[in-house]
Every structure is written in C-alpha cells, then in structure tokens.
Amino acid sequence: MSQADASAEPEAVAGNGLLHRRLFLTRGLTLAGAMGVAGHAHAQVAPPKHPEWMMRQGTGLSGYGQPSKFEDGVKRIMGQPNPLTPTLGSTRTPLEKLTGMITPNGLHFERHHSSVPDINPDAHSLLIHGLVRQPQKWDMSALMRYPMTSVIRFIECSGNSGAAKRAVPQTSVGQIHGLLSCSEWTGVKLSHLLDETGLADGASWIIAEGAEASSMVRSIPLKTALDDVIVALYQNGERIRPEQGYPMRLLVPGCEGSVNVKWVHRIKVVNGPGHSRDETGQYTDLLPDGRALQYTLILGPKSLIIHPSVGMKMSQPGFYEISGLAWSGHGAVRRVEVTADGGKSWADAELTEPVLSKCLTRFRMPWSWNGGPATLASRATDDRGNVQPTHAVAIANYGEVGAYHYNGIQPWAVAQTGEVANVRM
Amino acid sequence: MSACRFALAAGVLLAAACATEQNSASTASPHLGKAMTDVELAFWDSAILIDGSNLPAGSGSSAQGKVVYQQKCAACHGATGTETDTRLTPLVGGRGSLATAQPVRTLGSYWPYSTIVFDYIRRAMPYNAPKTLSNDEVYALTAYLLQANGIIGEAAVMDRTTLPAVQMPNRNGFVMASENVK
C-alpha cells in the first residue's frame, strides 16, 4: 500500500463491485498500488537463468505465418455432422479464446448447407439479369478493376444463440454464441453494378444464388441491395477464404448470415421475394398461433459478456476486467450497460474504439469481485434506440419453437467457488 | 454523358470502355460487363418463381416419383419420408401441428408454395448428385411428395400448369417481418 493514495478508493458505479469505466484512463497507477502486487519475493526459488530460446536460434522465415504451437487449442468449435452428409453443418468461432473485434480468417464461423466448393476463379463469373435494362456478366479480372470499398462488419447466423432459447446450456460461450464473426470486407458495391445494368420497371427485390452444390438462393429487398451491399472479394486484406465464399460473396451488412450469399454467381432482379426453401422452410420464425415471420433480415441489438463466461473459473476475489462484444444490425452500438447483481443495478461499460455501424464493438468494465455470488449480464442499445430485450421479450418477438433471431440478454452466475455458469435472470 | 467526359480526362482505357457502352450511364464507371447470349441466360435463369414462371416442360406422376424416390432419396430421407431418425427434417407429415407445442415443419405442413418443392429438388437434390435429375423426374418426385403429404391425389400429374395451381395448406401462414413492409 506504500505508494497508494488510501483515500482514492475506486469509484463504484453499480452494485456488487462494478467500478467506473474510466478507472484505467484516470487512475491506473493508483489502483495498481491499492490492489497490491500478487505473491511475495520471500519464497525460495531457483536462481534465474536464460530460457533456451534466448540461447539458440529458432525456426526460419515462412511463406504464410501460423499461430504459435502453444495456441494449438484455438480452433473453430466443430459441430457433429450427419455421417451421411459430413460436409454439411457448422463450426463456431471460439469467442472465449479471442479478443478485440476482428475474427482471424481461419476462425470465422462456417455454416454450409452442403459443402465448400473448390471454385476456379478464372472459370467463375457474376451474372446480373432479370428486371434490368442490360443483363451482363463480369469475370474476376473485370470485377477486380472496379472501384472498391472496405467496411468492417459482423456476420451472424440467424440460428446463433438458438441453444440458449429454450435451454440453459453449460457449454462454452463460443459453442452457444459463436455463429458470429467480424471482418474487414473489401469489394465492389452492388449498386455500382446495378447502375451499369440499369433497372427495369417493377424491380423491387433481388434473388442471389451461390455456386455451391446446393445452389442456395436468398432474396434481398432492392432498397437494401442499393444501399450498402457489396460483392466482397477480400476478407481482412486477403482473398476471401473458400469456406467464406471464394472467390466472391455478398456482404449484406446487419442482415442474417444466410443472405450474405457465399460463392455468389448470379443475381436476378425481380418484382417480389422468391420464397425459396431457405426463406420459407428455414430461417422463418414460427409463432405460437401457427403463423410465421418471414424475411426477418435485420438482426437486433445484442451483447455478451465473454470474460468471464460459462465454464471459466475465477481464481480469487479481487480486480477483474469484464469484457465482451456488442452489435446491432440496425446501426452502431451506442451504449452497453453491465450488471453484477442480476439486473438490480446497471452501469455503462467503456466502448473500445472504433465503434462502427453493423460491426462488433468490444466493451470493457472494471469489476472488483468480493468473492460472493454475482450474476453478470450486459445489455446493448443501438444508435436507433433499439434495446436488447430480456429472454422473455425476445421469445415473445420471434416465438419459442424456432432457433432463429434470438437476442435475449445472456446472464452468467459467478459462484463463491469462482465457477461461472449459464443461468436465467 | 459525364462518364465520357471523365473517360477523356482519365485516358485511353476508360475512353474505350465508354465508346462501346450504348447506355452511357450517369456515373464514372468501368463498364466491363459482357453481354450474355440467350442460351446462356436461359440455362442459368433456373429459379422457379411462385407464379410458376420458369417451370420447364415435362411432367410426372406420384407413382413415377415413388420409384425414383426409393432409388435416389430413401437412403437419406427414409423409406416413406416420415421417418424421424434420419437427422433430417421429415419430408412428409406434420399437418395441423404448426400451432402446437411440438410443431413439425415439413414441406407439406409448412411451405407456402408448391413450386418451392420443384425448385429446391432441382437445384439441391439428391444431395450426393445434385442437378442430375431430369425435369420429368423432378416433376414426379414433387408429385410423390405432395401426394404423400395428402395435398394432391394419386392420379394427379404435375407439369408447368398443374403444379403452380396446387394450393398448399399453409399458403397464408407467413407474415412479412415488419422491417420489409412498405
């Protein structure tokens, strides 16, 4: 305690130990002193020596860098595919093993309705036809010459978090909520190409088709297509990975994952939605009265505390940084509130810059855990004023039987043992 | 003509693109799209719309479809399509279950348009050899699955006229999410 200002107790902002979000910016040093240094120098320890990697050469240069072998456990979380159709299914981003807002390309979640095609880019083109003045096709070399735009945007499968709707799974946060990733996408604005084809009378939707074995088709309102949709060619600076749509995919910011058609090769401009199997039989929200919502495209405001989260164990009482992700398909995250007392009191978390539209935003909140039971949760509000709903309201919005579009608040309970569990609040 | 003005300023490449462009769009744009032949367009323009437009020639009955189903579909979807141990959504059954606590959403109980069945089978099935069925086979399989779901009779033959006329039980079951309603 020698250097600490004893009068400068960290300022509590809500119940059960939540501290002011600007703690680090203004008082980092004071706090470090006040919290003390863990461990003591008195114990008998082996005399220091150089580790072996400081005493001989390591490996050489490499053509494509890979993570350290000590990070070998950082892998996508694999599903359990049907043995008859082993290439169909999903893998999830291991959210609990990552931080920041960008998902490394090899860890971007996958959801395939058949498999990953092995597309030769020289034999792939993009066709635009239907209610246009001049149907046209572009090969890769032509598209590469168009003006490009880059945006950082999340993609979330509408089935993400579905497991948390009717059950309270005790699997990892990535297993429950990891159909969620975020990348910088670079490509050609679809409006640019539609400008060149021209639009005919009655054009109001587009139908986009992928070039995989099952040729998935999804419909998108023309209004959205002309707004911010891009034909994406690059992901985080390199060409899109095969499992993300190589050589091109649609990026439909803020809209459910499956309309971000991977391996896109054809766009038909039409006068109404196509009602394909993947927008009737799948990805629709069946309500208790038997009716179903269709074309629920924009994903609602949502947030998750990732550190700490289910399955983790807090080693001892004391200072922790709560951190997590927040996003909204409607726009930018304006605010994330955090509670440590099961929703009795809430306080605003610090949003880590940059805070972008339709993009993951990292939030952080200092917390002094007193060693007692605590229920942590976060609640996002976007810049349109949409607030992340409770579990009950989310279910009322989209029904309980389907797995889609669930964005309810996710609470975690910290027990006195430090173990973190999934709970309802 | 601003595209041409821009092209003149920007040099030869763009000027060439501009010269071949009949529609001279209002923005500075590369205009590198190529025209497609009618054959190409007809080949790729395969999606079936709900009014049946784009349905090809051909026809099939449920009796014919049952034979193809046993050969090419039953291994994954079960002998009757009602099986629940396939790890796939059953293809048959579930009618009347949508408003219950245990809804069974099949193409028969849930899908609002008959044309979707044809469209989906033709683009995606059989899973292990998609796009290999003849149009007659797709009509026959569609007839078989609609008949097995009790939507059409055993004698009905499906073709580009009869299929879009089939009324699905859940035809009015879908509501456009409010964000898309203008």
CB contacts under 8 A, A 138-177 vs B, are 138-139, 142-143, 145-147
CA B110 from chain centre, in angstroms, equals: 16
Q: Give CA angle at B177 (B173, B182), nearest 5°.
A: 115
Question: Which chain B residues are closer than 8 Å to A146 by Cβ?
Answer: 29-30, 32
Instruction: Answer whether B39 touches A (CB < 8 Å).
Output: no
Query: Could you tell me the CA-to-CA distances from A5 to A8, A32, A38 in Å, in that order?
Result: 5, 11, 19
The complex's ipTM works out to 0.91
- What pLDDT, on a 0 to 100 scale, did the predictor assign at position A25? 56
Between the alpha carbon of residue B22 and those of residues A196, B15, B27, the distances in Å are 11, 13, 14
A404, A283 contact by CB (below 8 A): yes
Was domain A112-168+180-293 assigned CATH 3.90.420.10?
Answer: yes
Distances (CA, A) of A362 to A154, A332, A356: 12, 12, 11
Residues of B with Cβ-Cβ distance to A291 under 8 angstroms: 173-175
Pairing of strands A318-327, A333-339: unpaired
Residues in A 337-396 with any Cβ partner in B closer than 8 A? none
Closest-CA residue of chain A to B26: A195
- pLDDT, tens only, B71-113: 999 999 999 999 988 889 999 999 999 999 999 999 999 999 9
The string of pLDDT tens digits covering residues B14-67 is 434 443 444 444 457 899 999 999 999 999 998 899 999 999 999 999 999 999
| CATH code of the domain containing B99 | 1.10.760.10
Crossing angle of helices B115-124 and B135-148, in 10° steps, is 130
Task: Out of A88-97, A192-201, A397-406, pick the least confident.
Answer: A397-406
DSSP, res A302:
E
- Radius of gyration, alpha carbons of chain B: 23
B23: nearest CB among A133, A281, A284 = A133
pLDDT value at position B181? 52
pLDDT of residue A293 exceeding 50? yes
Predicted pLDDT of residue A10: 80
Give yes or no for a contact between A280 and A293, defined as CB atoms under 8 angstroms apart.
Answer: no
Q: What is the pLDDT of residues A322-343, one digit of tens each?
A: 999 999 999 999 999 999 999 9
pLDDT over threshold 90, residue A214:
yes
B9 occurs within a structural domain? no
| Distance from C-alpha of A273 to C-alpha of A56, rounded to nearest angstrom | 64
Pairwise pLDDT comparison (B89 vs A41), residue with the higher score: B89
B71 is a domain residue: yes
What is each CA distance from A267 to A139, A203, B41, in whole angstroms?
A: 14, 12, 12
Asked if B113 and A275 come within 8 Å (Cβ–Cβ), the reply is: yes
* Contact list, B76 vs chain A (CB under 8 Å): 84-85
pTM of the model: 0.92
Contact call for B45 and A289, based on CB within 8 A? no
Mean pLDDT in residue range A219-237: 98
How many domains are there within chain B?
1
CA distance B71 to chain A (A): 16
pLDDT score at A31: 45
The beta strand positions in A97-242, using DSSP E, are 110-112, 125-130, 136-139, 149-156, 180-189, 205-210, 217-221, 230-235, 238-239
Tally DSSP H helices, then E strands, for chain B.
Answer: 8, 3
- Mean per-residue pLDDT, A195-214: 98
**Residue B180 scores a pLDDT above 80:** no
Within-domain flag for B29: no
Min Cα–Cα distance to chain B from A287, Å = 8
Contact residues, B window 47-76, toward A, CB-based 8 Å cutoff: 47, 49-50, 75-76
How high is the pLDDT of residue B3? 40
Question: Do residues A269 and A200 lie in contact, with contact meaning Cβ atoms separated by under 8 Å?
Answer: yes
CA distances from B55 to A42, A278, B30 (A): 83, 19, 36
Which range, of A100-104, A110-114, A280-284, B28-32, averages the lowest pLDDT? B28-32
For the cut 90, the answer to whether the pLDDT of residue B4 exceeds it is: no
Model confidence at A1, pLDDT cuts 50, 70, 90, reads very low
Exposed / middle / buried, residue A63 (Cβ in 10 Å: 0-12, 13-18, 19+): exposed
- Within a domain: B25: no
Q: What is the pLDDT of residue A333?
A: 98
Q: Positive or negative CA dihedral for A112, A113, A118, A123?
A: negative
CA–CA–CA angle A385, A391, A393 (5° rounding): 55
Is B96 an 8 Å CB contact of chain A?
A: no
- Which residues of A are less than 8 Å from B130 in CB distance? 114, 213-215
Lowest mean pLDDT among A97-111, A133-147, A212-226, B13-27: B13-27
More confident of the two residues B125 and A36: B125
Q: Residue A42 — pLDDT band, cuts 50, 70, 90? A: low
At residue A11, the pLDDT reads 86
| Residue A126 near residue B27 (C-beta atoms within 8 A) | no
Mean pLDDT of A341-363: 98
Contact at CB, B127 and A214, closer than 8 angstroms = yes
Dist. CA A331–CA A335, nearest whole Å: 12
User: Phi/psi at A255 (nearest 5 deg)?
Assistant: -100, 155
For residue B126, cis peptide bond before it (omega within 30 degrees of 0): yes
Spatial separation of the C-alpha atoms in residues A173 and A406, rounded to whole Å:
15
Domain that holds residue B159: 38-174
pLDDT for B46 equals 83
Radius of gyration of chain A from its Cα atoms, rounded to whole angstroms: 24
Q: Which amino acid is at A131?
A: L
pLDDT in tens, B113-171: 999 999 999 999 999 999 999 999 999 999 999 999 999 999 999 999 999 999 999 99
Sign of CA dihedral A181, A186, A189, A193: negative
Look at residue A6 in the predicted model and tell me its pLDDT: 40
A270:B49 CB<8 A: yes
Question: Where are chain A's structural domains?
Answer: 112-168+180-293, 302-422
**Sequential DSSP letters for A219-253:** EEEHHHHHHT-EEEEEETTEEPPGGGTTT-EEE-T
What's the CATH class of domain A302-422?
mainly beta
Q: Is the pLDDT of residue A423 over 70?
A: yes
Whether A127 and B36 lie within 8 Å, measured CB to CB: yes
Report yes or no on B16 lying in a domain: no
Question: Under an 8 A CB cutoff, do B123 and A294 touch?
Answer: no
Q: Is B181 on the interface with A (CB under 8 A)?
A: no
| pLDDT, averaged across chain A | 93
